[in-house]
Structures are given as C-alpha cells and as structure tokens.
Structure 1
Amino acid sequence: MSLKQTRNISQHAFREFLNRIIHLTPRQIEDLLSRTHDVRQRRAALAEIETRTEQERKCPYCSEDGRQKWGQTRTGVQRYRCDCCLRTYSGLTGTQICGLHRHDLFLEVIRNMLSDTPLSCRKLAARLGLTKDTIWRWRMIILESLAEACDKDFSGVVEVDETYQRESRKGSREWANHAANSNQHPAPPRPQWYVYRSGRIKMARGLSQWQIPLLTVMDRGGRRLFAPIANRRNRTIEIALAPIVPDDAVLCSDGMRAYRAFCKKHSLTHYEVSNKPGKRVVAGAFHIQNVNALHARYDAFIRPFCGPATKYLHRYLRWFLLRAKIKPEAAFRSILAAA
C-alpha cells in the first residue's frame, strides 16, 4: 500500500472519529480530553522546532533560501536538503540540543524547572524514565542557554540585604586525591562537611569564610538582583551597588556599615531597619520585608537540592529568578535560538 493511500485512510478514519464524538459518554469525553492534552504536550516541542524552521528558512551551512524536504528523523523532526550546497539539515542543526532524541522529555524538564515545586534530579529522572545524569546535563544546557535573570536598573525605594549559602565542593576529588597521594595533592582548605556533623571537629559559630554572601537587591517596581559576592567589605558593596542604584534612590537596609558608607559616599537617602519588634518599618513605608520574603522563597527552592556545588551556584540563582519571568515554551524557543 502506498504512503498516499495510507494518508487517505488516516484522514477518513479521523473524519469517522469526529462524527462519532457526539455518541461518547461523559467519562469517555474526559478520558479523550486527558489523552489529547498529553499528546499535545508531547508534540509541543516538535511544533516549536518546525516554527523555527519556517521562520529561519536559510541553510545553516551556506545561508541560501532554496531547499526541499528530505525525509524525517526517527524523532519526527522534518529534515531539508539545501538546493545550493546539497547538505541536509533540520530545525535543530546548529543548536545546543542538536542530536537530542527526546524533545518531548526535554520540554518536560523545562516545565518542571519553571514550576513552583521543581524536583531533584533523581526524582525527576524516576518520573520520566531517564537517568539522573541525563537530567543534570539537560539542566545545565537549559541554564546556560537562557538569558540573564538579574535586573540592572533600579529606581525609587530600593531594598538591599544579604543571605548566605554554605560553600560546597560537591563532586570534588580533593580529599580522595590527597588521601591517595599527599605528596602530589595538597590538603584541601577545610575538612568535609560530614566531619563537622559527626562531632569530631566543632564548627565555629557565626559567619565564616565558608559562608558565601548572596547580595539581594529589590525595588518596589519588582526588579531584582540576586548574586554571590566575595565578602561584605565596603569596597565589595560599593562595586556591586554603584552601577545599579541611582543617586536619587532611597536605600533601605539593615545596620551593616558597608551600606551606611555607600549611602554617605553617594549622598543617598538611607533608612536603617532592625529585626526587633517596632523597628522593622521606618516612617510607615521603608523596610526590607520584600527582600526577606525573597530569601524565604529561595530557602524553600534550594532545600531539595541539598546544597549545590559553589561553582554552579550562579546557575541556580538564575534558575530561581527565571521561574517568575519566563514560560516553558518561551524558554524552549530561547534554547533553539541560542546557537
């Protein structure tokens, strides 16, 4: 039977199916809607790929417009052959996910990442039937391909504070290499964290060099910045805040001296608040409660990941801020556009 005959049979069967929908029971209709939604979710990735191909018709190798269809991949992505250079390509050629076979699951990973309750790599891998290493690799591709999440221009009443993330060397071989050959590999700068938890070494109270400050800046317009800084010294705060806080802004912070010095140098109106009852709001409108609420949401977000490695911390901060800014389909289009 020819391919044309098969398509005609499929179209005829589809028309017959549409004519019989009216005879379905309410339970069958609900089941149909559920299955249709699942199929649509799986086909959404292919639709985005085809949309990109129609918008960018030029060959990725020679930039010519002439092309013809040249079969499909086993994943259903349409391939084309350039009339000029005779090379074949698809909507994924030249992108960071070229060669990826499960586009539907890749989009599901994006949806989970941008949801209110993202899962850990192991839990999401078990749900999708993949390995945790695949989930991790896809997440790194997604976070590297998406745009910067932090805002740069603040105005009006600006709130600033900092929270802390414990330094992590998850995945590092420093301790194992030192134990195997202490002459070739120097001792790591600190013991592993489980040594402190075991009680063999007491951890010093308060802040230390192993607590990474995360500077948080917000204004009443919803602009946000969440970034790690080296320390809380005056010079570090000056370098971080000077490019983004205008001279006519009103700065609200706690009593840290670095903020006071910054406002004095730039002649900013400064309100200091405290966490003591009755002193959390000054003049009825100046506070840092929006920043504190953001810190609480970040703590809930980062907890399931059990302390990401510090070298990947900036990616997790970008992930945290992007969840409220971008939709899954828009994120998938951004990844396709990031060649």
Structure 2
Amino acid sequence: MPLRHQDFRHFLDALNELNPAQIEDAQTRIRDLRRKTEAISEIEARTSREAKCPFCGEERRQKWGRTRTKIQRYRCGGCQKTYSGRTGSAVGHIHRPDLFMVVLRDMLIGSTPLSVRKLAKKLGLNKYTVWRWRMLVFSIIENRVTPAFSGIIEADETYQRESRKGSREWVRHAADPLNVPAPPRPRWEDFTSQGLKMMRGLSRWQLPILTVADRGGAKLFQRLANHAGATLQDAMTPLVPRDAVLCSDGAAGYSKIASAGGIEHVVLGSKPGTRVAAGCYHIQNVNSLHARYKKFIKPFCGPASKNLNGYIRWLELRLAGARPADVIRGS
C-alpha cells in the first residue's frame, strides 16, 4: 500500500536525522528498489506492446492482480488463463528479473563487461547462475537480421584460436587411454609446458571470422566453417549486390565472387603505399572492427568455440548500441 502524502513528507524529514551508516544503508535499499522497478517496467512494456494472450492469441484481457515479483498479471478474455509480461518469454522462469537486468546492462552498456566471477560477487549470486544467464542471453540474441550492404563494401577475415574450454577429453584419455580416444590436438598450454612445436600459419585450429562493412555503417561478423574459398564465396555472395564496389585483400575467394557476379573489385595490400587506392578504396573500417573484436574477446581468455557465435553476436549488439529493453522485447 503506497504511503500517504503526509507520511511521505515525514519520511523525507526523518532523513535529516540519519547518521552516515544509516544513510549508506538507505542508499543501498533505494538502489535495490530502483533496480527492481526498472526491471518491472521493462517487462510490462513488453506486455503493453504485445497485448495478445500467449496461449490463444486473444486480445481481450483484464487486469488480474500482480505476480510475486510485483508484475501486472492479466486474465485472458478467451481461454481465461492468466499471464504476465514474462509468460512465454525466455526470461519467464527467472526468479530475480531485477538482477537479470543488471547482468544484461553489464553486457550491453559500459566500456568493459565484468567477468562472471566479479559480477556474481557484486550481485551476491553464484557464478554458475550468472553464467547460465549469459547463455540465456546468447539464446535470445542468436537470431539476427542480416544487414543490407551497398556502395563501397569492405571485407576481410580475422581469426580466433579454437578452444575446448571446459572439455574433459584430455583428462578422460589420460585416465583410460585404451578405451578413450586421444583428443585431436594437444592442449594449448602443453605447447609451452612440454616444449611442443607450435603449428605455424593458419592451421585448421584458427577459426576464420568474416567481417564485412560498408560506408553507410552496416557491419557484420560471421564465423566461417573452414578456410575453403567455396565457404567464403557462399557467405559473401548474398551480401554483395552487383552495383557495389568490393574492397578486399588478394584472397582468391573474393576475386571469384567479383568475377562471378560482375562486381567491381579493388584488391588492396598490406604494405605501405598499397593499403589505399584512389584515395577512397581501403579496408580500414574492417581492420578497425578486427581491433575492436580482439579487445572485446581478450578478457574472456579464449571462450569455448561452441559459444563463439554468441560472443560475436554480443559484440554486434554492443557496437549497434542495443539496450536491455531491445533484448527483453525480442525474447
């Protein structure tokens, strides 16, 4: 029950009598309440936009109290079932939506996201809870609309070392080498600790990530299955219209794409004097995106390759300036 106006005024007047420790405690309580209120607002905004019943699609509804987490509940005028803004969404079974929103803000807003352990300590949660929430966000954002590219289009690849973080392959093989097959490669730390010779160049353990950008601001990161030119062609062909100008390095795949589609192709080198042609043709925008990708991915110390698409999509949302509400509404 909300405070009456005069009671609220008395409450404000009493703040002048608080000592520093009490003021700190009050600030913490108010911060937590604000966090919960913001989370409720984001979830209820989803219900206001999508007024249909998640069970039968009926638009007629009436307010039907509030949930345990103070979110407005509705009763469907058709099937008579009750629902809220969380029903049918990816965050429907999260018991602390306020803390989930904090995790989501940390992922999307700010200079550098906190590690799972640091964020869990900050919120008083188990590190595995924060990790599951990040994986849930990955499942929400995995579907995307491919941007339309036009004009001068830059394309190049960067590479991410293959990672099996969390895998028990090496441990199981060491424990039972007769029945458990050996992993396909040594652990990366074994190359240092055991003095193994590191594989040089772009081996199959370097995963290619195609980066495409145009001068209008459209950008795309896409992990490729392998280094084959045909794989590159299949990925690039739908992205480059016939009236565009393709700028790339001298990789054969790009030349084949341009010749097959009758596209103007400008080949650029890496040595001084060959990086820019005619004053406007270059691939400096995608090189900048590569630098931002490396800076973003470095704190995660080589994420497991099975989750790499999620990290790539996460970076795309950060570069696009996405807000937590955009993710919640898409769930």
Q: TM-score, normalising length from structure 2?
A: 0.86
Q: 1:222 to 1:109 in 2, by over 3 A?
A: same
1:204 pairs, out of 199, 205, 219, with 199
Bigger Cα displacement from structure 2, 247-256 vs 178-187? 178-187
In structure 2, the partner of 1:44 is 38
Distance 1:270 1:55 in 2: 45
Distance 2:145 2:203 in 1: 26
Aligned to 1:293, which of 288, 306, 309?
Answer: 288
Match of 2:112 in 1: 117
Provide the aligned C-alpha RMSD in A.
2.9
Q: Using the alignment, how far apart are the partners of 2:264 and 2:45 within structure 1?
A: 51
Q: Any conservation in 2 of the 1:260–1:270 contact (CA below 8 Å)?
A: yes
**1:3 match:** none
Q: What CA deviation, in whole Å up to 9, does each residue of 1:242-296 have, x standing for no partner?
A: 1110111111111222222222222221111122112211111111100000000
Q: For 1:241-320, list aligned pairs within 5 A.
A: 241-320=236-315
Q: Is the 8 A contact 1:252 1:271 kept in 2?
A: yes
Q: Distance in 1 between matches of 2:168 and 2:192?
A: 20
Q: Find the residue that maps to 1:177 and give its secondary structure.
A: helix
Once the two structures are superposed, residues 170-213 of structure 1 have per-residue CA deviations (whole angstroms, 9 ceiling, x without a partner) of 11121222223334321111111111121431112221110001
Equivalents in 2 of 1:147, 1:112: separation in Å? 18
Question: 1:167 is matched by which residue type in structure 2?
Answer: E
Three-state SS of the structure 2 residue aligned to 1:117 is: coil
Bigger mean CA deviation after superposition, 265-274 or 141-150: 141-150
- What is the aligned-residue identity percentage? 50
Pairing 1:147-186 to 2, within 5 Å after superposition: 148-149=143-144, 151-186=146-181
User: What amino acid sits opposite 2:91 in the alignment?
Assistant: I
Q: 1:332 is matched by which residue type in structure 2?
A: I
| 8 Å contact kept, 1:166–1:307 | yes
Count of residues in correspondence between the two structures: 322
Q: Which runs of 5 or more residues in structure 2 are unaligned?
A: none
Amino acid at match of 1:189: P
1:44-63 deviations in whole A, cap 9, x for unaligned?
Answer: 11112233334445544455
Are 1:225 and 2:233 matched, yes or no?
no
Q: Assess if the C-alpha contact under 8 Å between 2:63 and 2:72 holds in 1.
A: no
* Pair 1:334-2:330 in alignment: yes
Distance 1:269 1:84 in 2: 58
**TM-score w.r.t. structure 1 length?**
0.84
| Match among 183, 192, 197 for residue 188 of structure 1 | 183
Instruction: Tell me the distance in 2 between the aligned counterparts of 1:264 and 1:84.
Output: 58
1:144-169 CA deviation, whole Å, 9 max, x = no partner?
11264563421111111111000011
In 2, Cα distance between equivalents of 1:34 and 1:289: 46
| More RCO (CA 8 Å, sep 6+) | 1
